Structure 1
């Protein structure tokens, strides 16, 4: 997620930011078409749609950043609340000041894991059992950090959390326990003050590596997982992705659809690092925060941090190869 509306007066020049790097459309590369918003949420009630995990039936499990809720939205747009993280009386979350429900992942058995950033001992990873019940904290993360994106390597039973303030990727056993600072370094950190705000943000486990976006540095990074499960050298796979938030892979290769939050865009990022815009504000995006892909369906959550009037929503689109819209 980017900085909150009450903390920012974004100048026009900053919103404009950097023109996206683009390249020629490659034959057979994914194309996106038929975007439609299937559900709208209540921003005033804290329902800023932050992150997505997908259910086998195509429903989307969403975190609502400011209400602490986890909701399930079916493909017809019907929404129900699954769980609510415990309220924090005096949140002191670094950089934002309020409690934020952020990354979410789903295990094959239906268990959900959610990041919660509060600036208190409640900061960490919480588990929601498949059959309901109150969320349970399974790992505490540093109170001076901001756990944002969350990824799961189910084969190795490891959760990875991207800390946007400390510039760290934390690893935690899926069953819970003490976190380990798995990856650190400049590439994961926010920019220095006064310009810095959000470093490591979105995160995914894909093809034997942990992939991370850095919002401040406008980059998409790949960190190989070594045979001993330690972090390899951080690789920069794409640059110039202004206001990048979370992202999703379109298939088995390294093609990515990335949410560009303040720009109100989704960009297709090719394996060679070039990219093009495939969805915009005209399609219904309202500060997109996360992208997920299942088969031929693209899911995009929008938190509407800056759009006036606010319109947090869930958008679906069609993913194809060789036809459909070719970018803008």
Structure 2
């Protein structure tokens, strides 16, 4: 009898080890704001403000837009075209506003990829101001894409999608330097390093072409360690964020118009797709149990938008 009980215990333990665990789900998905595709308002990135408003970078319109909790929108800044046209931005050609964030003083900071020196880089719009100014110039041949504020280290971090690099620069502005040019960040045909987050003592970066999410440890000196691959099979992965459940991630897949949840072991499953109204999903940000999701509608569709959804525990990883 003891042998039978022991076998039963072993079998139960083995089944429990193989059984899927509860994971995050998204419910109550709704449109918070729709944008003007004809005007180039292809939503690219999201920065959620303390009061719950969302600041959005608009690619083709070269705008930074604030969306209120009631869905109303206001253009905070519109970037001018470079003199003589906008055809020198690497790979994509057109000048565009990409990543957005907030600095410790409450200013909106954003990236402008202009294909021109003296315009490409990190721009700052102080609270209440109407005119942004360039605080970190980046080389004209960079394609700055995602931007984060590493307040503890006193620096910005920026992905360069065509150069396959992560840049760093002081929060007060100044000259940038390459923080990591790990080969895993490189593009294979179009974009490499894309989305960017700071989490658990590491910088996490998505590689659009390779469909991967990478983890780059931050060494005690602040320098980059070697990149390791956390997840694969994420075709066209753009921006992403952590759910608050350890290393669990929500990721926006631009190519397939999906939002997926990536478990701690790197496996993933689809939570939302085109049937939920997604069109060229570019970014997802998690704040206080809410996921903010942007439709870029660049590769297909004509309804760029900002959606919100509620995070709940459940489902199967």
TM-score scaled by structure 1? 0.87
Matched, 1:162 2:159: yes
1:234-288 CA-partner distances (Å, limit 9, x unpaired): 1110001011000111116211100000101000011110110001111111101
| Preserved contact between residue 32 and residue 326 of structure 1 (Cα < 8 Å) | no
Please show how residues 187-266 of structure 1 align to structure 2 within 5 Å: 187-191=184-188, 196-251=189-244, 253-266=246-259
Q: Structure with the greater relative contact order (CA < 8 A, sep ≥ 6): 1 or 2?
A: 1
CA distance in 2, matches of 1:302, 1:26: 29
For residue 103 of structure 1, what is the aligned residue in structure 2?
A: 99
Distance apart, 1:87 and its partner CA: 2.6
1:39-86 CA-partner distances (Å, limit 9, x unpaired): 110011111001000011111100111111111112221111111223
TM-score scaled by structure 2? 0.90
Q: 1:278 aligns with which of 271, 275, 279?
A: 271
| Preserved contact between residue 36 and residue 284 of structure 1 (Cα < 8 Å) | no
Matched residue of 1:197: which SS?
coil
| Preserved contact between residue 182 and residue 226 of structure 2 (Cα < 8 Å) | no
For residue 20 of structure 1, what is the aligned residue in structure 2?
A: none
| Preserved contact between residue 249 and residue 293 of structure 1 (Cα < 8 Å) | yes
Q: 1:40 aligns with which of 34, 37, 44?
A: 34
CA distance in 1, matches of 2:285, 2:182: 27
For residue 315 of structure 1, what is the aligned residue in structure 2?
A: 307
For residue 284 of structure 2, what is the aligned residue in structure 1?
A: 291
Distance apart, 1:24 and its partner CA: 6.7
Distance apart, 1:185 and its partner CA: 2.4
Matched, 1:171 2:198: no
Distance apart, 1:145 and its partner CA: 1.4
For residue 59 of structure 2, what is the aligned residue in structure 1?
A: 65
For residue 14 of structure 2, what is the aligned residue in structure 1?
A: none
Structure 2, unpaired ranges of 5+: 1-17
Matched, 1:31 2:25: yes
Once superposed, which parts of structure 1, at least 4 consecutive aligned residues long, lie more than 6 Å away? none
Matched residue of 1:166: which SS?
coil
Decide which structure has the larger Cα Rg and report it: 2
Matched residue of 2:283: which SS?
strand
| Preserved contact between residue 81 and residue 114 of structure 2 (Cα < 8 Å) | no
What is the RMSD of the two structures over their aligned residues, measured on CA atoms? 1.5
Matched, 1:119 2:115: yes
1:117-138 CA-partner distances (Å, limit 9, x unpaired): 1110111111111222311101
| Preserved contact between residue 84 and residue 135 of structure 1 (Cα < 8 Å) | no
Matched residue of 2:175: which SS?
coil
Aligned residues: 297
Structure 1, unpaired ranges of 5+: 1-22
Matched residue of 1:44: which SS?
helix
CA distance in 2, matches of 1:131, 1:24: 53
For residue 93 of structure 1, what is the aligned residue in structure 2?
A: 89
